[in-house]
């Protein structure tokens, strides 16, 4: 799941300053971790400890405020009696990568992706986006080919993955829905050549750059592995609290 964090950090400076090229410095001045990282790490802790994920999301939110959280999510955090709010936003997919690494069958992955997304994102599209992302990660780490991953996602979730990045890029704009983020992030992975390439692909589309790159970064790590140099650089952006959980999760599930 550190690959997802890499994508978030690299994409952080382009979320509201979109670029349409793959030629950029991977880590540049101004990069930071956003809510994507915060909620990903909190899910990793929930999986490892069995602690309540809703509680942990609120706890992490208060520890790391002002990280770009969605308006409705912020309301949910501050109202502890509030249930899920029927969201189809891409927040369910950007935080779900630990599920794809932690469980050993596709059935478990689908069940846990639903469980952890529907706490807030109980709209069918919100759940679907999380399940598709977690499934792609699971299949990638199991050594399934890109052709088979594509076929599985299309057959089970109904996403159209037939467009190329060159076809998507010219008219693609900022969009926070799972429907218009998850397929594009998966295509960015499918057209890639190594770990770094899909992150560049995702950011080159424009749009919700940190989340696109976060989603595809998790899949890329599962498929290609994570270069140590990039992993170490990403860790420099995190504090000791986050690093502790990331290292524990990687030791347990990402060896």
DSSP string, the chain: -HHHHHHHHHHGGGSSS----S-S-SS-TT----HHHHHHHHHHHHHHH---HHHHHHHHHHHS-SS---HHHHHHHH-TT-------BTHHHHT-HHHHHH-SSHHHHHHHHHHHHTTT--SHHHHHHHHHHHHHHHHHHTT--HHHHHHHHHHHH-----S-HHHHGGG-----BSTTTHHHHHHHHHT-SSSHHHHHHHHHT-SSHHHHHHHHHHHHHHHH---HHHHHHHHTTS-HHHHHHHHHHHHHH--
Retrieve residue 221's tokens.
């790590």
Give the pLDDT band of residue 255 (cuts 50, 70, 90). confident
Over range 160-182, report the average pLDDT.
97
Known binding residue 210? Answer is: yes
- How is domain 2-253 classified at the CATH fold level? ADP-ribosylglycohydrolase fold (1.10.4080)
Over range 166-176, report the average pLDDT.
96
Known binding residue 8? Answer is: no
| pLDDT over 90 (residue 133) | yes
Known binding residue 211? Answer is: yes
Cβ neighbours, 10 Å, residue 194: 11
Would you state the pLDDT for residue 254? 84
CA distance 206 to 238: 25
User: Average model confidence (pLDDT) for the chain?
Assistant: 97
Would you state the pLDDT for residue 68? 95
Return the percentage of the chain with pLDDT > 70, whole number: 100
- Tens-digit pLDDT profile for residues 37-94: 999 999 999 999 999 999 999 999 999 999 999 999 999 999 999 999 999 999 999 9
Known binding residue 37? Answer is: no
Known binding residue 166? Answer is: no
pTM score: 0.97
Known binding residue 197? Answer is: no
Would you state the pLDDT for residue 86? 97
- Tens-digit pLDDT profile for residues 187-245: 999 999 999 999 999 999 999 999 999 999 999 999 999 999 999 999 999 999 999 99
| pLDDT over 90 (residue 150) | yes
Tell me the domain boundaries of the chain. 2-253
């Amino acid at each position: 799941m550190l690959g997802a964090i890499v994508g978030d950090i690299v994409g952080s400076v382009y979320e509201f300053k979109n670029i349409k090229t793959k030629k950029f410095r991977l880590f540049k001045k101004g990069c930071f971790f956003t809510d994507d990282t915060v909620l990903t790490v909190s899910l990793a802790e929930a999986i490892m400890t069995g602690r309540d994920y809703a509680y942990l999301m609120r706890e992490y939110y208060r520890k790391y405020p002002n990280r770009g959280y969605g308006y409705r999510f912020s309301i949910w955090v501050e109202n502890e009696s509030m249930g899920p709010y029927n969201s189809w936003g891409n927040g369910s997919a950007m935080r779900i990568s630990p599920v794809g690494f932690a469980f050993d069958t596709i059935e478990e992955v689908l069940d846990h992706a639903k469980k952890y997304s529907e706490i807030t994102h109980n709209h069918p599209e919100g759940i679907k986006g999380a399940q598709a992302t977690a499934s792609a990660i699971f299949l990638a780490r199991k050594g399934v080919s890109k052709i088979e991953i594509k076929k599985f996602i299309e057959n089970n979730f109904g996403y159209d993955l037939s467009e190329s990045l060159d076809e998507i890029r010219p008219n693609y704009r900022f969009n926070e829905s799972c429907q218009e983020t998850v397929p594009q992030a998966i295509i960015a992975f499918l057209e890639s050549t190594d770990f770094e390439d899909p992150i560049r692909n995702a950011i080159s589309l424009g749009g919700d750059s940190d989340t696109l790159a976060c989603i595809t970064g998790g899949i890329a790590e599962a498929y290609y592995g994570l270069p140590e140099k990039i992993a170490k650089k990403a860790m420099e952006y995190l504090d000791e609290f986050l690093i502790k959980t990331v290292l524990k999760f990687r030791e347990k599930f990402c060896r």
